[in-house]
Amino acid sequence: MELSTHAAAVHDVDTVVHAVRALGKLVLTFGGFGELGYDDEAQVLERCSAELDRHDPASTLVATGTLVTEGFRTGIAMVYALAKARGFQTVGIHPSVALHHPKRHAIAPGVDHVFLVEDATWGGADEAGMPSNTLQVLLAVSDEFIVFGGGQHTAHELLAFLNAGKSVRFHDAPMNRATTDRWCRDSGVRISDYRGAAFHVWRNRHADA
C-alpha cells in the first residue's frame, strides 16, 4: 500500500509508545538492511524463522521499522510474511519523514498495526548520539532486538539497545552486492564492506568485552 493512500495519522513518541504497549504483548523487534536487501536471502529467512520459533505467537508482537522501497529489495521486512504465517500480530513503526516520499515508499505487506512517529529523520541517532524520535519509541516498546546486519541507522539502534542493557541477538548477514553496487553507482556513494555498519558495532562491543 502506497503511503499516499494510507490513512494512518502521525503521532508523537508518547502516543505511539502508549498505543503499542496497549496491545499487551511482548514486542520482538527486527532490525537490519532495508532496500539494499541481503546477499543470501534464503539464509536470512531461515534464521528469522528460527528466531520466531523461540516465541509464542499468542503473546508476542513482531515489529520492524523497514518500509518497502520501489525498485529495491524487501530487506528485513521479509520477516512480516514469516510472522503472519505463524499467527503473530505485526506492527510497523516508521518515521513520518517517509510521507514526503509517497511514490517511492510503501507500507510493507503483512503489517497489522501501522504507527507513524513524528520524526524529520530516517531514525537512528544524531551526531551527538541523541536518539531520534523513532529510536526512542523502539527502545521504549521493544523487549528483544533481533538484528540481521544493517547500515548506519541500524548501527545506531544496535548501540542504543546495547547501552540500555536490553536483550539483543545479532546475525552477520551481508547486504545484497548487486543491489548495493547499483545504488552506489546511481548515488555516487562508495561502499566497500558489504557487512554494514551494524556488524562493526557488534564486533567492537564484543572485542571490548
Topology of domain 1-115+162-188, CATH = Rossmann fold (3.40.50)
Q: What does the pLDDT look like over 65-114, one tens digit per residue? A: 777 888 899 999 999 999 999 999 999 998 998 888 766 888 888 999 99
Task: Count helices and strands (H / E) in the chain.
Answer: 7, 9
How large a percentage of the chain has pLDDT more than 90?
74
The pLDDT, as a whole number, for residue 127 is 77
CA distances from 7 to 92, 95, 119, 204 (A): 14, 15, 17, 42
pLDDT at 129: 81
Nearest-angstrom CA–CA distance, 114 and 105: 14
Q: What is the pLDDT of residue 24?
A: 96
Q: Tell me the three state secondary structure of residue 186.
A: helix
Give CA–CA dist 38/47, Å, rounded: 13
Q: Which of 1-10, 115-124, 167-176 has the lowest mean pLDDT?
A: 1-10
Is the pLDDT at 16 greater than 60? The verdict is yes
What would the mean pLDDT of 113-131 be, rounded to a whole number? 88
| 22: nearest Cα among 76, 121, 91 | 91
The answer to whether residue 36 scores a pLDDT higher than 60 is yes
pTM, to two decimals: 0.93
Residue 6 has a pLDDT of 54
Q: Would the pLDDT of 138 be above 90? A: yes
Domain ranges of the chain: 1-115+162-188
Distance CA 13, CA 148 (A): 25
Give residue 83's pLDDT: 98
Mean of pLDDT values over 12-33: 97
156-184 per-position pLDDT tens digit: 999 999 999 999 999 999 999 999 999 99
First to last CA, the chain: 44
Lowest mean pLDDT among 114-128, 136-150, 191-205: 114-128
If pLDDT is split at 50, 70 and 90, which confidence band does 2 have?
low
| pLDDT average, residue stretch 56-61 | 98
- Residues 6 or more apart in contact with residue 54 via CB below 8 angstroms: none
pLDDT band, residue 4 (cuts 50/70/90)? low
Across the chain, mean pLDDT equals: 91
